[in-house]
Amino acid sequence: MNFNQLPLHERILKAVTDSGYTKPTPIQLKAIPKVSKGADVIGIAQTGTGKTAAFTLPLLSRIVDRTEAKEARHTRVLIIAPTRELVQQIHENIRGYAKYTNLRTGVIYGGVGDKGQISKLESGVDILVATPGRLLDLVDKGHGNFHQVEALVLDEADRMLDMGFIPDIRTIVKKLSKSKQTLLFSATLNKQIESITKEFLNSPSLIEVERRASPAETIEQSIYEVQEHQKTELLEHLLNSSHEFYAVMVFARTKLGAEELTTALKMEGIATEAIHGDRSQGQRKRALDDFKKGKVRVLVGTDVAARGIDVDGVTHVINYDFPEQSEDYIHRIGRTGRAQSKGVAITFVTRANQQALKKVEKLIHKTLPKKKAEGFTYDQYAPELTREDRRNKTKVAKKSGRTGEYQNKFANRKNNAGAKRPGGNKRKPSGRRTKRRR
C-alpha cells in the first residue's frame, strides 16, 4: 500500500511525496487509519520505525481545512515529548509535512529564554510541541489557550515515566477538554505504562508492530567484556582499528563521564563532541548539526540528552557505560539500524555489570554474543560470582565433601577462643546469654 491510499489530505500527501517517501512503515500503515477516525491509540514501536509520521500526518490532515483562516488561533493539537531534542525533531518533521498549508506551529522547551515562546503562544498556534516541565510553567503563568485542544499526543511515554514527568502531565491534562483524542506512543509496554494508558486514554486501540521490548532486527548486537580501567583504551582501539566506525554514538552514564571521555578521544585525534545537560542549547545543537554533517565522527551523550536524536546513517552505538535501566538499552541501540538500514550495537561489560546484563538479556529474549577486539591486549577479566553461581558452588562442595575442611577451621576457632591473644590477654566471657536467632 502507498501513502496515497491512506486517508490523508492532498496537501499533506504532496509534502510526503516531496520527502521521498512512497510506502508507509508498519506502524504508519496500522495507526494512520485509526488516528484519522479520532480513536484513542496506544502505539508500541521502536525508534526509527516512523512513529512520528504515524501520528502527525493524520492529525495534520484532520485540521488543515479548518485552520486556513488568518484569525486568532488556539492550540488544536498538543504533542508532549520528554526532551528538547525530541521536541525539536518532531517540530522539524511537522513543518516539513505542513509546508503546503497555512498551519501554525510552535515549540516549548526549557534551557532557553521563554519570551519568544510566550509570544508564540499568545499569537496562537495550531500545533504545539512541548516538554512537560516548561509547558506547565507557562500554563501556570496563564499563557496559552488549551481549552479547545482536540488531540493530545504523549510521545515516548516510557521515558517520561522514567524521568518523573507523569505528575506534570496529569496537571496539564486536567486543563484540557475531556472529549479530546489521546494518543500514546512508547517503545515498551510494561505494567506502569499500561496503568498510565488506563488513566489517560478511553477505550484505546493497541497497535504493536514488533515484539514487546525487542530491538530492531537490523541491529547486530554484541558485548565486549573488559576491566573498568581499560574501557577508554578499548574504545579508542575500536575507533582507530576500522574505518567502518564513521558515525558513532557513545553512551556514558554521567555528564562528567561524557565530558571526560570526549576530552580523551579528542586527545587521540578523533573528532568528538559531547551532548549532555550541562551544555547550553546552542552547544548541543551545534554538536548535533556537526554530527549530522559528518564533521564530527563520534557523539558522546547521556541517556537524557541523547533521547530523541534522529540521525540517519549512525553506523554504531557503543554503550561505554552499561545502562542503569534495562529499557534504556533498547532506546540507546535504537539510534542505529533505523528505517530498515543495518547498524551495530556494542556494549562494554565489566564485572559489576553481570546482573544487569542478565536483566537486559531477559528483557530482549536474547543472549548477547561475546566478542573480542583483534589486536587489543586485555587485562585478566574475572566476572564476580552471581548469587546463583555461589549457591551452585556450595552444592558442589557439599557433594564432594570439601565443606568438611571449612567446618574443621570453624571448630578450631571455637576451641582456641580462650587462648592467649596478642598482648597476653585472654578473651573474657561477657556473662550474658543471647537467644539464638531463628
- How high does pLDDT run on average in the chain? 83
Retrieve residue 47's grid coordinates. 525508534
pLDDT tens per residue across span 278-322: 887 788 888 988 998 889 999 999 887 556 667 778 999 999 999
Equal fold, 3-208 vs 219-364: yes
- Distance of alpha carbon 237 from alpha carbon 118, whole angstroms: 49
Task: Fill in the DSSP letter of residue 436.
Answer: P
Tell me the β-bridge partners of 222: 346
- Count of CA atoms in the C-beta half-sphere (13 A) of 69: 5
- Distance of alpha carbon 393 from alpha carbon 2, whole angstroms: 60
- Which of 148-152, 211-215, 434-438: highest mean pLDDT? 148-152
Q: What is the mean pLDDT of residues 253-272?
A: 94
Nearest-CA neighbor of 188 among 51, 45, 8? 45
Whole-prediction pTM: 0.65
The answer to whether residue 386 scores a pLDDT higher than 70 is: no
76 touches 150 (CB < 8 A): yes
- CATH match for 219-364 among 1.10.10.410, 3.40.50.300, 1.10.3720.10, 1.10.357.10: 3.40.50.300
Quickly tell me which residue has 529474549 as its cell: 365
201 touches 184 (CB < 8 A): yes
Return phi, psi of residue 332, to 5°: -65, -55
- Distance of alpha carbon 382 from alpha carbon 361, whole angstroms: 20
pLDDT tens per residue across span 38-78: 999 999 887 777 889 999 999 999 998 876 555 567 899 99
- CATH match for 3-208 among 1.10.3720.10, 3.40.50.300, 3.30.420.40, 2.40.50.100: 3.40.50.300
Q: Which residues contact 295 (CB under 8 A, 6 or more apart)?
A: 271
pLDDT tens per residue across span 190-212: 888 899 999 999 999 999 886 54
pLDDT tens per residue across span 163-183: 889 999 999 999 998 899 999
Tell me the percentage of the chain whose pLDDT exceeds 90: 50
pLDDT at 422: 46
- Domain residue ranges in the chain: 3-208, 219-364
The answer to whether residue 407 scores a pLDDT higher than 50 is: no
Nearest-CA neighbor of 330 among 285, 365, 373, 298? 365
The answer to whether residue 415 scores a pLDDT higher than 60 is: no
Q: 410: pLDDT confidence band, cut at 50, 70 and 90?
A: very low
